[in-house]
Amino acid sequence: MPQDFLVEIGTEELPPTALKSLAIAFQQGVEDGLRKREFQFESSEWFATPRRLAVRVQQLAEQAPDKDIEVQGPPVAAAKDKSGNWTKAAEGFASKNGVTPEQLEQVDTPKGARLVFRETRAGEKASDCLPGIVEQSLASLPIPKRMRWGASRAEFIRPVHWLLMLLGKEVIESGFFGLRADRKTLGHRFHGNEWLTVDEPADYETVLEKQGRVIASFEKRQQIIREQITGEAKKLSANVVIDPDLLDEVTALVEFPVALTGSFDKQFLNVPAEALISSMKEHQKYFHVENDDGELLPNFVFISNIQSRDPSQVVQGNEKVIRPRLSDAAFFFETDKKTKLADRVERLGSIVFQEKLGTLHDKTRRVESLAGFIAAGIGANVQHSQRAGLLAKTDLTSEMVLEFDKMQGIAGYYYALNDGEDREVAEAIRDQYLPRFAGDQLPENPSACAVALADRLDTLVGIFGINQPPSGSKDPFALRRASLSVLRILVEKRLPLDLRTLLEEAKANHRDLPAGDSVVQQVLDYMIERFRAWYEEANIPVQIFQAVSAKEVTVPLDFDERVKAVHRFSQLPEAEALAAANKRVSNIIAKQSGDVPDQVNEALLSEAAENNLWTAVQQKQKDVEPLFAKQQYTEGLEALASLREMVDSFFDHVMVMTDDEALRNNRLALLKQLRELFLQVADISLLSNA
């Protein structure tokens, strides 16, 4: 009869940022172990608090299915000697399987009759297998570094203090980490720090919550926190800002959440809001609140792990802790404002960017130059772009950024405004690191785009130039992310810039790169290849990427337009036939020993099918030329789709490789012009599965 199974590992406080992933991996490991042994079960769920990881399996079969075993042995001809006695081969095979030779059967195989051992083996019992499944799952958890405790040689992410394992109402007799399995669990460290008895798996959550003041379910605890902090903000007529990562971390820090609200002195609001938020979020795990206009308020919501009889004491304690942090931020801000960003430029000379590529001062000068070049190409303000490029990294020398590293760029924005720099310059300094991750926002103004592009292109050319490209999982300068960021800016901001030209300019700003002239092509190939993953995420088949990349397009915006057009074309009913025809034409032309003529001699067109195709090709050349000139690739390819019928007729009725050389070359010229119509966009022959 199926029963529920429960396992809980009780530990000292687990790392909050890893708790959720550990619990999910634990559940997956248990499920995989059960499936590997063919145990049937209805479902499973994971639980996680700071002091426990648990998995519950619903309706687990008590026993795995029986298995029919068949093992083939030696040939029947070799099973007995001339006297009719069993040979050593037959006796050894029988003994290995725990039977006598007489109990073996025979089976016909393609290689002749052989001895065979058959039996129905009873399925394993769940109670026997579960300890090994759990132990293997725990051993496979993604734990970068395990620790030992006490005199035990057991290892885990944190010391383990109890082990609960129940199958139905029975304790599974087993143990590891130097512990024996029991039905005991421990309640809340402060509100219920005593041993609790779980009679059966279904009681687990109720026992912990009612008797131990522990919310075992991570999702339930998180939902309670979300509701509580939202409610606290409403009391202030404000909105709480819920960062998903912070919410996960806070959920992993408490077992019985209680939301409270604190405040800080309004004078701190003169400090950049980002610095205050960083201090509250990164250091104290507080949620900040804003008014309806998105302005930071002098309040914060935090989650306590206890339900105090005097909550005001808890609030005062948290206010006392945050005050020095905010005071530090205010001090750094006021101190930094005394030195202009322009006066910090020379200080960058003492900061090494990369040993072979010089200092940040060297990089700044290169970015300044390249940003101006890019700005001229996109119609941005060249002076503003160069100024932003010059000042972009200067806030790295500020006290604010030294204390709050996530203030890079943001601090520079405020200091630039304080220095009287143009707002566009300040915004470019702020947005230079955008986008920081997949789906992140892009730089706002054109000067910001110029600086963001220049910074990344300089790094790409420099690192490739000293022969240190990414390899495998090693990408210390985040060149993959830099490449995707460049492509996103160029495509999504619709900037028709030639990547090769930009890379050539970036290379010109470097001196004597070891990779020499090959660096531009290396970086170009690397960056265009990043498009492959981009389109895979958009569910665009890789053949479409290959069809466009075969054209060696170096303008990312144009590349993207072609991919979208070819993808749409590939979904037309005529696409497969035309792709196959292009592939056939490509193969025919490739096999020619000499050059195929460019011009078609109409006087040599003798068949109706080739006359019809030639007339259609000429008309389509006129139709699509203005479309392709305007990069209206979708419309152009859709116009070419109507050629399918005439192309099919040509191949059905016309012998291309005729013995008449003049006729053969003329037909090859016709096919060449047909193919070149499509090649204006992509090599659609690569779409063919034929």
Query: Mean pLDDT, consecutive 10-residue segments, the chain of 690 residues?
Result: 95 95 97 94 97 97 84 84 85 86 84 83 87 94 90 90 96 91 95 95 97 97 97 96 96 97 96 94 94 96 94 95 94 96 96 94 97 96 97 96 93 97 97 93 96 97 94 87 96 96 96 91 95 92 93 96 94 88 84 79 85 89 91 91 87 83 84 88 84
Residue from 566, 584, 552 nearest 641 by CA: 566
**What pLDDT score does 287 carry?**
97
Claim to verify: residue 27 and residue 169 sit in the same structural domain? yes
**What pLDDT score does 98 carry?**
85
For residue 33, give both structure tokens.
Answer: 């172990």
Domain count, the chain: 5
Claim to verify: residue 410 and residue 485 sit in the same structural domain? yes
φ and ψ at residue 266, rounded to 5 degrees: -60, -25
Place of tokens 């290689």: 111
Claim to verify: residue 430 and residue 571 sit in the same structural domain? no
Claim to verify: residue 500 and residue 419 sit in the same structural domain? yes
**What pLDDT score does 661 carry?**
80
**What pLDDT score does 690 carry?**
56
The Cα 285–Cα 264 span in angstroms is: 15
**What pLDDT score does 124 carry?**
87
Question: Is residue 9 in a domain?
Answer: yes
The DSSP secondary-structure symbol of 75 reads E
The Cα 200–Cα 124 span in angstroms is: 22
Question: Is residue 552 in a domain?
Answer: no
Element (DSSP H or E) covering residue 10: strand 3-11
Alpha-carbon distances of 566 from 403, 558, 623, 638, rounded to whole Å? 50, 12, 18, 10
The percent helix, strand, coil of the chain (3-state, each to 5) is 55, 15, 30
The Cα 666–Cα 604 span in angstroms is: 7
CB atoms inside a 10 Å sphere around CB 234: 11
Last residue of a domain, one of 167, 188, 212: 212
What range defines the domain where residue 618 resides?
Answer: 561-687
Question: Is residue 553 in a domain?
Answer: no
Q: What contacts 18, CB < 8 A, 6 or more positions away?
A: 142, 157
Q: What contacts 99, CB < 8 A, 6 or more positions away?
A: 117
Residue type for position 322: I
Q: Give the dihedral sign, CA 411/456/362/466.
A: positive
Claim to verify: residue 400 and residue 523 sit in the same structural domain? yes
Claim to verify: residue 146 and residue 113 sit in the same structural domain? no
Q: What contacts 590, CB < 8 A, 6 or more positions away?
A: none
The Cα 526–Cα 483 span in angstroms is: 8
Helix (H, G, I), strand (E, B) or coil at 158: coil
pTM: 0.81
φ and ψ at residue 271, rounded to 5 degrees: -80, 145
Question: Is residue 73 in a domain?
Answer: no
Claim to verify: residue 597 and residue 621 sit in the same structural domain? yes
**What pLDDT score does 381 carry?**
97
Question: Is residue 449 in a domain?
Answer: yes
